Amino acid sequence: MRPLNVRLIIGGVTIATLIAAALLGPLLAPANPLEMTPDLLAGQSRAHPLGTDSFGRDVLSRLLYGARISLLIAGLSVLIASTGGTLLGLMSASFRGTVDWIVMRSMDVILAFPPILLAIAAVTFFGSGLVKLALVISILYTPTFARLAYGSALGVTKTEYVEAARALGGSGWHQMFRHILPNVAGPIIVQCSLSLGFAILVESGLSFLGLGVLPPTATWGRMVSESRNYVEREPLLLIWPSVAIAMAIGSFNLLGDGLRDALDPHLKGTRRRQVGARTRSDRVGALSKA
């Protein structure tokens, strides 16, 4: 019997809880997250289970609504990045030549910027609505998906069954979607989970700097930032959103590792094999936090 995949279970359950909290937020929240009350910096009470912030707003409600923003932006950006990146990677691997060169060199240029810096720059010039933020963050992670799909696809195109499909007269697109894509899907799903963690990190970082979704919308990053001047008096104002961010990032990482083990037994030693990574793309693939 296979050993229980603990990481998959813990990661999955935590994420499911977070998503449920985000979806049910309006029902669960004890108050309107934007409503200011005269109870400034109040401690825990029946009306405010986690207390109130410096504007008298209910902290639990703000956390729940913040989860909606973080998960929505992260989900949207990873959806865009994974779809776009995978298509670009597959295209490069199928057509090779000029397409390959242009696409993959553009990805190199994106990776030449420190991620959070590129996000700050893009938001400054492009603006920061919810959809714009998701777009900006998706740009940061598109190269990762493109390279992943590109590498896996190149490996598969040389196999006999793809050659057989070609011999039978299957078109380029047919090969790509019917034979190549299913073979690169595993690593891409794993990467999706890891990227969701990164996306939440970047979103909360931008929000922390005041560059996220416009105030007074409740976001975790802004809650951390707003706790700055009151942290000595009310440390919990910093602790709650920090716990939320860490929980989201940590569980997406756990889920990613768990999925890796579950989806592809060949990949089990990946972490260790990356140690011996000698090409530039391998090393960039080992890049961790933003």
Partner 1 sequence: MGGYLIRRLLAALALALAVATVVFLLLRLVPGDVVTVMLGESDPSPEKVTALRHQLGLDRPLLVQYATWLGRAVRGDFGDAFLSGRRISTDLAARIPRSLELGGIALVLAVLLGIPLGALSARRPGGALDLLVGGVAVLGLTLPSFVIGMLFVLLFGLVLHWFPATGFVDFSTDPVGHLRHVVLPAVTLALTIIPVVMRMTRASMLDTLHQDYVRTARSKGLAERTVIGKHVLRNSLIPVITVIGLQAGTLLGRIVLIEYIFNWPGLSSLLLTGVNQRDYPLVQAVVLVIAVAFVLINLLVDVAYGLVDPRIRVA
Name the site residues for partner 1 (rule: CB under 8 A).
105, 108-109, 112-117, 120-122, 124-127, 201, 204-205, 208-211, 221, 224, 227-228, 231-232, 235, 238, 242, 245-246, 249-250, 253, 271-272, 275-280, 283-284, 286-290
Q: Which tokens sit at 198?
A: 């990164």
Q: How far is the CB of 201 from partner 1 (least distance, A)?
A: 5
Q: Helices marked H in the chain — which ranges?
A: 6-28, 59-95, 97-111, 115-126, 130-157, 160-167, 172-174, 181-208, 220-226, 236-263, 270-275, 280-285
Cα 23 from Cα 164, distance rounded (Å): 47
Residue type, 245: I
Decide if 277 contacts 286 (C-beta within 8 A). yes
**Nearest approach, Cβ of residue 175 and partner 1 (Å):** 29
Residue 123 C-beta: closest distance to partner 1, Å: 8
Taking the complex as a whole, how short is the minimal distance between the CB of residue 114 and partner 1, in angstroms? 3
Determine the Cα–Cα distance for residues 123 and 141; give it in Å rounded to an integer.
Answer: 16
Q: Is the Cβ of residue 94 or residue 195 nearer to partner 1 in the bound state?
A: 195
3 state SS of 276: coil
CB of residue 223 to partner 1, shortest distance in Å: 11
User: Of the two residues 69 and 90, which places its CB atom closer to partner 1 in the complex?
Assistant: 69
Phi, psi dihedrals of residue 52, rounded to the nearest 5°: -125, 160
Nearer to partner 1, 73 or 245 (CB): 245
Shortest gap between Cβ of 205 and partner 1 (angstroms)? 6
CB closer to partner 1 out of 181 and 201: 201
Residue 34 or 110: the one with the smaller Cβ distance to partner 1 is 110
- Evaluate the omega torsion of the peptide bond into residue 115 and state whether it is cis, within 30 degrees of 0: no
Residue recorded with tokens 């990574």: 277
CA distances from 263 to 141, 154, 157, 161 (A): 22, 20, 21, 21
Least distance from partner 1 to the Cβ atom of residue 251, Å: 9
Task: Please say which residue, 2 or 125, places its beta carbon nearer to partner 1.
Answer: 125
Residue 165 CA to its chain's centroid (Å):
35
Q: Helix (H, G, I), strand (E, B), or coil: what is residue 58?
A: strand
Amino acid, res. 99: V
Answer for the pair 200, 217: CB distance below 8 angstroms, yes or no.
Answer: no
Taking the least distance from each CB to partner 1, the nearer of 5 and 270 is 270
